[in-house]
Structure 1
């Protein structure tokens, strides 16, 4: 195949990408609702909960974008390598964001941050199952 013929994603790839970003959108809504609920306990708890949502969503969005990009479309070996690299970068971004937040943001409520992080981690699997009527590993 020459370069003038672009590889276009199939219907399954487009649907998977749409569902994955829909999950991220719902999780952003969950994070905002959790931050609003935490705000009833004080301003520090509210912005700490919102910060926890941001700390979760930035690396997850990066991984979703990288895993579902079309750079290695068609090669299973390259796609798997890209997934592993994306997961490593996701963990590094996650640790850096969490470290920066805990080090630089004062005052902060660690309970609010970690409760929203746990809530979003749990919601990810549940939303994948509900939106797809099956389990999609991503």
Structure 2
């Protein structure tokens, strides 16, 4: 008997969605600031850096929130570990793709975008707590 209960809540109503939205907004704002201050290459480098953080986080959120309920506890824990492993692999793969495939690239801007998105995710408890519930 399968004790897993699929989570039928739409993705945009799950707890991680507001965090992903704020990470995406921060990524765009950092990219725009870099574009204005340092030029086009810095702008798209910052955008790519943010996406290297946001895309794996979205994958992780999808995996972790696939199941719900007490009967799904084992499945949720399993998804937590496999989601984190997948997130790390996806992050490394995206960095490799960007570093190999995008020329010219402004390294400082790439990492500024990445760290801005990661810092936003690190403050996710504040974001989720302040997000209005419907």
Q: TM-score, normalised by structure 2?
A: 0.81
Q: Which runs of 4+ in 1 moved over 3 A?
A: 6-10
SS of 2:15's equivalent? helix
* Partner residue, 1:136: none
* Separation of aligned partners in 2, 1:35 and 1:86: 27
Query: What is the root-mean-square deviation in Å for CA atoms of aligned residues?
Result: 2.8
Contact 2:53 2:114 in 1 (8 A): yes
SS of 2:87's equivalent? helix
User: Mind listing any 5+ residue stretches in structure 2 that lack a counterpart?
Assistant: none
Q: Are positions 1:25 and 2:21 aligned together? A: yes
Change (3 A) 1:73 1:106: farther
Alignment of 1:1-138 (within 5 A): 7=5, 18-40=14-36, 41-70=38-67, 74-132=71-129
SS of 2:103's equivalent? coil
Change (3 A) 1:72 1:59: farther
Cα shift at 1:73: 6.8
Cα shift at 1:18: 2.8
Larger radius of gyration: 1
User: Mind listing any 5+ residue stretches in structure 1 that lack a counterpart?
Assistant: 134-138
The answer to which structure, 1 or 2, has the higher relative contact order (CA under 8 A, 6+ apart) is 2
Q: How many residues align?
A: 127
* Separation of aligned partners in 1, 2:112 and 2:70: 37
